[in-house]
């Protein structure tokens, strides 16, 4: 592995642990907990792991001597900066318990656990991954751990390797599965603890007890860097509107955080669009009005941040897609005989009046994509729609109309960007490097304490890392019942952007000013070696959420 | 202006000047020069400024007392990191000559000079722009300074403001125009010196005497950062081929430098494609073969860097476009009556056999774009073609064919990226911050020396900045005659990637290894405060070019 100069310099960084984890610890148990909703159903589904107390680690007088512990670790789902440091923290924590402890990594995600693909992680091997981005240390994957067969198959390799605890690093679904697995192993007395770690750049795995998922900090900083650069370009050339789509399908935390960091002219927040029951045309008009207002001031340029999931949050589009899915499934044979040139008319003729109108309002290319490109289950593939281009095309049309009506007399020229892969594997910021290392080290403490069904928890995150609070949160505590693929299932509640929360309110207070005036902020690239106010700041989302408490 | 934490910290950075410029200087003249080609024609066109000697500044014993000098400055063309520091260096240099010197910035590029739009740049105003990216201090524009009318109009405002020197910060065309303007003002004894500064992220303004243009260092570092992040993602998920297009239409320096920095599986170099007279299908097959080879090893992922100008370098495509332009111009009326569904057949029927075959080989969407989207002059708009998607689509088709033939049995799934605006206005790296400041400061020294028709020159750039050599290069020295819009004109020779040069050879030696094996390097974000080996490295292009000397 040829290393860059930064990689070499960064390898020597020693993540700062919460002070409490630097010595011997004891777990202090809080009150028994209950799930955030549907308590009776969740309790019934998790008879062995429901109602566990929250845990907080405190200083112990002397470490209890410990036998070696063998542990398995899985990286599950999309990459997030800092995953390698969770593993390094876990490794160091286990070695501190007993130098003969061993850590095994299952390869390419949960699939490696089921298929018995693994690698022992030694000190010499992991040293190259300390403080680096990516999940390439053992790879990741999207296999869902859900069935008894998988659990039993996995147990075979755990027994073979004498592993007594499994750490699953993943998002809300993976942690839900960790809880199910913990419950199952407990129910059969398998002698295996299962613990989760909160990972996702999307920022939607958080709640009263989990302050943030790891990776959100770094990823949003990378996106804010390039958005800032684009804004500086925009403000220098003064001739383009940049439509910038940002990863995050199920919530708009990324777009919101980047907006707070960079102060663009426009940021769409999907949760607000949904709450206000806005149509796509209303979203378009909202953008077009700001474009026109700026043009009236001579400013034919600007920036628009768009969350990837926007289209799926628009109630009217959701209804259209539902009917389209039905229609194309029911009339599949007949539709297959319709000539391409007649398909549009056919679809409009067969949709309800309301949905036909929405369909007609879409640019033809997008409408065609909706009816032609379907997934293996026959469903419309909303994720293929280039929302940033859809929006700018519709804005352009509306402006052309206003120009005819004499209401607008500017120039509108658009550039498009989509940022996602650029940030998921960046080298973790100091925040994520420390947070992840602490999450992993803390998981080792939970393992030593014999706990199962917990998520590793590190809190008080807007304070310097030495003051962070470490402990464990019962995963069932974050659960409710939701419909998934037509069946009610216990799942960790996803955190959408809270329109009453401090981050959104801060944004909403300022956005009219940002829209008309040019208030761009240019955060620049993540710094690792400079002054603390440059290198060690948490996200504004976290800062405002904590101020609001 | 709300400043980010990094902006505030970076504002205090004092760019390091070449030691020679820190005290009093005298200009040492070298031998008279001549243009790189077409000496007789260029000499005739520049009777007053041809053949000037190269200049090198050396330490003088004592500064000559100087009167205040008023200077105008123009930012011309696309943004490049460090432009603000050229202006700051120029300002500080002028104030050092005499504290009553004044600097005026013409607004939004050369257009502001012609239209008398300007702003006085004071110490208080420019302090917010020190070490920052962007051209927003006075804006930039693409108006070409070419006509006597423009020159005379501009002279009015220069006289009004008592300006005796004009500094044009721009690319090859803008510096060519600076030379023409210098010659003109000299010929009419206008009493105005004109100097140029070498700017462009594309890296194609360089030669034996100009080692690099400013901005190339920072922009390629930003692109390498995000390419590295994508590669880490690619190597973690192991499921996508990322096709990454990079800005730079007329040369492939950016793609090549990013390849040297990040070691992707594939990097296309347009100059090589042209030299080997490769067809588009041959480029596609080159990529497809590597995809297949990696798939045979179980690696269904990878990265491909593509220079923006690729399509225009492919000789067969160039010939097709030339014939298409002719055909659609000649048959415009008839073509307008052809139904959309029949246009493809019409075009194929009217093209020569060879070009018809090339046209047919293009994906339909691209072919349609070539015939429909034309610029105001009726020409095909090659720049609208999404080369990264075109390539991946054609690679996908070829692989599907090979799969049928049993020659390939992998999975091919592509993601697309285009990076350009992300890097043009980034905060300058230490290298660009120092280089630009020195270029501007040095321009003030050239002004004080009474020189005109020179480009500000700072050399020895792979050494620490204090050891840099400062001076001036007669712009006519870099010129040759080229056909532009049907007329022979004197222009600065563009530097294409030299296939015999050290940077390309270094790449060519290693690319087969990078293709099959996964040798990704992850440079990470630009650092400003860390160890020198992280913060102060010039580009590998520059390093290899100097090693090769």
pLDDT digits (tens, 9 = 90+) for B198-207: 999 999 999 9
C-alpha closest to that of B103 among B79, B134, B126, B80: B126
Placement of tokens 């709640």 in the chain: A207
DSSP A488: E
pLDDT digits (tens, 9 = 90+) for A476-494: 999 999 988 778 999 999 9
**What is the reported pLDDT for B108?**
96
Q: Which of A7, A8, A233 sits opposite B421 (nearest CB)?
A: A233
Pairing of strands B487-492, A102-106: unpaired
Placement of tokens 């995953």 in the chain: A83
**Residue A86 and residue A439 in contact, taking contact as beta carbons nearer than 8 Å:** yes
Which residues of A have a catalytic role annotated?
A: 202
C-alpha closest to that of A197 among A484, A33, A441: A441
Beta bridge partner(s), residue A305:
A244, A267
Tell me how far apart the alpha carbons of residues B123 and B126 are, in angstroms, rounded to a whole number. Answer: 5
**Residue B218 and residue B82 in contact, taking contact as beta carbons nearer than 8 Å:** yes
Tell me how far apart the alpha carbons of residues A379 and A332 are, in angstroms, rounded to a whole number. Answer: 12
- Distance of CA A35 to CAs A179, A225, A443, B60, Å? 12, 39, 22, 80
Residue, of A64 and B426, whose pLDDT is higher = B426
**What is the reported pLDDT for A119?**
98
pLDDT digits (tens, 9 = 90+) for A305-318: 999 999 989 999 98
Q: Is B521 on the interface with A (CB under 8 A)?
A: yes
Length of chain A: 549
Q: Which of residues 36-65 of B touch A (CB under 8 A)?
A: none
Q: Is A107 on the interface with B (CB under 8 A)?
A: no
Tokens, residue B518: 């996964």
Tokens, residue B60: 């003088």
**H-assigned helices in A364-501:** 364-372, 387-404, 421-424, 430-448
Q: How far apart are the CA of A40 and the nearest CA of chain B, in angstroms?
A: 39
Ranges A368-372, B272-276, B399-403: which has the least confidence? A368-372
Length of chain B: 549
C-alpha closest to that of A129 among B235, B517, B511: B235
Q: Is B236 in contact with A136 (Cβ distance < 8 A)?
A: yes
- Distance of CA B309 to CAs B245, B271, B296, B368, B372, Å? 9, 10, 31, 19, 20
| Closest A-chain CA to B236 | A136
**H-assigned helices in A238-363:** 253-262, 270-275, 280-296, 310-313, 315-330, 332-336, 340-350, 353-361
Tell me how far apart the alpha carbons of residues B528 and A39 are, in angstroms, rounded to a whole number. Answer: 52
H and E: helices and strands count for chain B: 23, 15
Tell me how far apart the alpha carbons of residues B371 and B321 are, in angstroms, rounded to a whole number. Answer: 9
Q: Is B431 on the interface with A (CB under 8 A)?
A: no
Work out the pLDDT band at B281, boundaries 50, 70, 90.
very high
Q: How far apart are the CA of B414 and the nearest CA of chain A, in angstroms?
A: 12
Q: How many CB atoms lie within 10 A of CB A507?
A: 23
**H-assigned helices in A148-199:** 148-160, 172-187
Q: Is B521 in contact with A228 (Cβ distance < 8 A)?
A: no
Tell me how far apart the alpha carbons of residues A211 and A455 are, in angstroms, rounded to a whole number. Answer: 12
Q: Is B421 in contact with A427 (Cβ distance < 8 A)?
A: no
Q: What is the mean pLDDT, run by run of 10 residues, along chain A of 549 residues? A: 94 96 95 96 97 97 87 97 98 97 98 98 97 97 94 98 98 96 98 98 93 98 98 97 94 98 98 96 97 98 96 91 87 86 90 93 82 71 85 96 96 97 98 98 98 98 95 97 87 96 98 98 97 96 89
Q: How many CB atoms lie within 10 A of CB B48?
A: 15
pLDDT digits (tens, 9 = 90+) for B102-146: 999 999 999 999 999 999 999 999 999 999 999 999 999 999 999
**How many angstroms separate the first and last alpha carbons of chain A?**
46
Q: Is B414 on the interface with A (CB under 8 A)?
A: no
Tokens, residue B527: 């650092």
| Active-site annotation holder among B92, B172, B173, B202 | B202
Give kind and range of the element (H or E) at residue B417: strand B414-419
Given CA atoms B47, B53, B55, B58 in this order, what sign does their dihedral have?
negative
Q: How far apart are the CA of A394 and the nearest CA of chain B, in angstroms?
A: 19
Beta bridge partner(s), residue B70:
B102
Residue B469 has pLDDT above 80, yes or no: yes
Tell me how far apart the alpha carbons of residues B23 and B62 are, in angstroms, rounded to a whole number. Answer: 8
C-alpha closest to that of B253 among B279, B271, B273, B278: B271
Which segments of A393-529 are extended strands (E)?
414-419, 454-459, 469-474, 479-484, 487-492
**What is the reported pLDDT for B486?**
76
**What is the reported pLDDT for B6?**
97
Helices A340-350 and A315-330: crossing angle, nearest 10°? 110
- The alpha carbon of A539 is separated from its chain's Cα centroid by a whole number of angstroms, namely 14
Task: Report angle CA A94, A97, A102 to the nearest 5 degrees.
Answer: 40
Tell me how far apart the alpha carbons of residues A287 and A189 are, in angstroms, rounded to a whole number. Answer: 58
**What is the reported pLDDT for A488?**
92
Task: Report angle CA A25, A28, A29 to the nearest 5 degrees.
Answer: 145
- Distance of CA B150 to CAs A10, A77, B188, B452, Å? 54, 60, 15, 19
Q: Is A4 on the interface with B (CB under 8 A)?
A: yes
Residue B125's contacts (CB-CB under 8 Å, 6 or more residues apart) are B119
Please give the average per-residue pLDDT across B168-196, as a whole number. 97
**What is the reported pLDDT for B548?**
66
C-alpha closest to that of B458 among B32, B34, B28, B55: B55
Pairing of strands A70-75, A102-106: parallel
Q: How far apart are the CA of A37 and the nearest CA of chain B, in angstroms?
A: 35
**What is the reported pLDDT for A467?**
95
Residue B521's contacts (CB-CB under 8 Å, 6 or more residues apart) are A2, A3, A4, B228, B261, B262, B263
pLDDT digits (tens, 9 = 90+) for B346-369: 999 999 999 999 999 888 878 888
As a whole number, the mean pLDDT across chain B is 95
**What is the reported pLDDT for A259?**
98
**Residue B272 and residue A176 in contact, taking contact as beta carbons nearer than 8 Å:** no
**What is the reported pLDDT for B187?**
98
Q: Is B148 on the interface with A (CB under 8 A)?
A: no
**Residue B173 and residue B464 in contact, taking contact as beta carbons nearer than 8 Å:** no
Which residues in chain A have Cβ-Cβ distances shorter than 8 Å to B529? Answer: 527, 529-531, 534
Q: How far apart are the CA of B104 and the nearest CA of chain A, in angstroms?
A: 17
Q: Is A230 in contact with B523 (Cβ distance < 8 A)?
A: no
Q: Is B235 in contact with A427 (Cβ distance < 8 A)?
A: no
Q: Is B410 on the interface with A (CB under 8 A)?
A: no
Which residues in chain B have Cβ-Cβ distances shorter than 8 Å to A228? Answer: 4
B202 has catalytic annotation: yes
Which residues in chain B have Cβ-Cβ distances shorter than 8 Å to A10? Answer: 524
Tell me how far apart the alpha carbons of residues A59 and B246 are, in angstroms, rounded to a whole number. Answer: 54
Pairing of strands B469-474, B454-459: antiparallel
Residue A491's contacts (CB-CB under 8 Å, 6 or more residues apart) are A172, A173, A176, A479, A480, A481, A482, A484
Tell me how far apart the alpha carbons of residues A116 and A160 are, in angstroms, rounded to a whole number. Answer: 10
């Amino acid at each position: 592995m040829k290393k860059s100069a930064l990689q070499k310099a960064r390898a020597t960084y020693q993540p700062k642990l919460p002070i409490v984890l630097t010595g011997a610890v004891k777990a202090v148990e809080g009150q028994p907990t209950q799930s955030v909703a549907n308590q009776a159903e969740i309790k019934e589904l998790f008879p062995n792991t429901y109602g566990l107390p929250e845990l907080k680690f405190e200083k112990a007088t002397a470490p209890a001597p410990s036998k070696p512990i063998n542990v398995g670790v899985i990286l599950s789902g999309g990459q997030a900066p800092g995953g390698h440091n969770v593993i390094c923290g876990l490794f160091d924590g286990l070695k501190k318990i007993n130098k003969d402890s061993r850590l095994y990594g299952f390869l390419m995600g949960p699939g490696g656990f089921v298929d018995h693909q693994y690698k022992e992680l030694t000190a010499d091997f992991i040293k190259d991954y300390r403080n680096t981005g990516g999940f390439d240390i053992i790879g990741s994957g999207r296999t869902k751990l859900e069935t008894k067969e998988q659990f039993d198959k996995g147990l075979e390799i755990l027994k073979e390797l004498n592993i007594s605890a499994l750490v699953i690093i993943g998002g809300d679904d993976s942690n839900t599965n960790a809880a199910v697995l913990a419950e199952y192993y407990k129910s059969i007395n398998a002698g295996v603890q299962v613990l989760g770690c909160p990972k996702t750049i999307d920022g939607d795995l958080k709640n009263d007890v989990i302050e943030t998922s790891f990776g959100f900090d770094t990823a949003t900083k990378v996106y804010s860097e390039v958005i800032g650069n684009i804004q500086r370009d925009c403000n220098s050339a003064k001739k383009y509107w940049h439509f910038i789509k940002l990863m995050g399908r199920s919530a708009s935390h990324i777009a919101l955080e980047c907006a707070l960091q960079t102060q663009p002219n426009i940021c769409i927040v999907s949760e607000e669009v949904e709450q206000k029951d806005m149509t796509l045309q209303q979203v378009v008009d909202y953008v077009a009005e700001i474009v026109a207002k700026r043009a009236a001031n001579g400013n034919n340029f600007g920036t628009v941040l768009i969350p990837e999931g926007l289209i799926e949050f628009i109630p009217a589009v959701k209804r259209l897609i539902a009917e389209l899915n039905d229609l194309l499934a029911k009339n599949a044979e007949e539709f297959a005989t319709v000539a391409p040139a007649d398909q549009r008319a056919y679809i409009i003729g067969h949709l309800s009046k309301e949905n036909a109108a929405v369909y007609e309002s879409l640019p033809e290319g997008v409408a065609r994509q909706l009816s032609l490109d379907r997934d293996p289950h026959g469903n419309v593939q909303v994720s293929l729609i280039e929302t940033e281009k859809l929006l700018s095309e519709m804005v352009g049309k509306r402006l052309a109309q206003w120009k005819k009506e004499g209401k607008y007399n500017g120039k509108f020229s658009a550039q498009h960007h989509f940022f996602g892969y650029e940030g998921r594997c960046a080298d973790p910021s100091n925040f994520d490097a420390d947070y992840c290392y602490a999450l992993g080290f803390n998981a080792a403490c939970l393992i030593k304490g014999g706990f199962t069904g917990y998520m590793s928890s590190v809190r008080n995150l807007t304070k310097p890392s030495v003051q962070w609070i470490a402990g464990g949160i019962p995963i069932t505590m974050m659960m409710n019942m939701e419909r998934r693929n037509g069946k009610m299932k216990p799942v960790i509640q996803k955190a959408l952007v809270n329109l009453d929360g401090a981050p959104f309110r801060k944004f909403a207070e300022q956005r009219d000013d940002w829209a008309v005036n040019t208030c761009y902020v240019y955060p620049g690239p993540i710094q690792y070696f400079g002054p603390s106010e440059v290198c060690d700041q948490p996200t504004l989302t976290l800062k405002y959420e904590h101020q609001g408490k």
